[in-house]
Amino acid sequence: MQPTPIQAAAQRLAQAQKVAVLTGAGISAESGVPTFRGADGLWEQYRPEDLATPQAFARDPELVWRWYQWRRELISRCAPNPAHRALKDLEYRAEAFTLITQNVDGLHRLAGSRNLLEVHGNLWMVRCTACGALYEERSLELSPRPACRECGGLLRPHVVWFGESLDGRILDAAWRAAAGCQVMLVVGTSAVVQPAAGLASVAKQAGAFVIEVNLEPTPNSREVDLSLMGKAGEILPQLLAV
């Protein structure tokens, strides 16, 4: 009897020693994380693209910080879902494992993932614009102009804004993980945001078995080895059942 697609994917994962995973907004949407493109109140006057820029922060850091504190307060109500937890369990099972995420909500960290590459940063991390200090700051009561605990300089959210480059070290590590894995999972991503969208192709070209998990088809769906349509929180736990 031929295995089902989920059984085939689970068998591939069970046999793999080197696994890479790419996650996008879809996995966090199942935890209730909003996309912030339907904001209410004050934020109806602004587009994310107008606030998440170095220029906006230089012009009005208090406004930008108010927006990020609003976002952080919303995300603070969200918790890792079964998909996040399944990826944490997969990390402990694989010999070599790298989780690459486009999300900035920090839910993978909360779930217990360790070998994690946050290519767009993390909302719960702050970076000093003066001395470069980087640390976690989970307070929802920050000053409108939060000061660095090291030097007193102005803090900014540790996220990649429009017009900024990704961290080259993190990106290089992501490319290496994709090129060196035996199986790659692509979960909850539309496969249109570059350069992360190209990781599946890198893995495929290097000989990896690529599995997509998404609610609907993406530009990657015809190129991957298996495309599993459905909720990540339902599918990923099944992939670890073998």
- Asked whether 88 and 113 are in contact (CB, 8 A), the reply is yes
Binding-site residues for NAD(+) sit at 24-43, 102-105, 188-190, 214-216, 232
Known binding residues for Zn(2+) are: 128, 131, 148, 151
Binding site feature residues for substrate: 68, 71
DSSP reduced 3-state for 149: coil
Residues serving a catalytic function are: 120
Return d(Cα 63, Cα 65) in angstroms, integer.
5
> Cα–Cα distance between 191 and 178 in angstroms, integer?
15
Neighbours of 76 (CB within 10 A): 14
Query: Omega before 5 cis (within 30°)?
Result: no
Residue 89 CA to residue 158 CA, distance in Å, equals 27
Quote the CA–CA distance of 29 and 139 in Å, as a whole number. Answer: 23
Pick from 97, 108, 122: nearest CA to 21: 97
Sequence-distant (≥ 6) Cβ neighbours of residue 198 within 8 angstroms: none
Are the C-beta atoms of 233 and 219 separated by less than 8 Å? no
Are 218 and 212 within 8 A, CB to CB? Answer: yes
Residue list, annotated binding site: 24-43, 68, 71, 102-105, 128, 131, 148, 151, 188-190, 214-216, 232
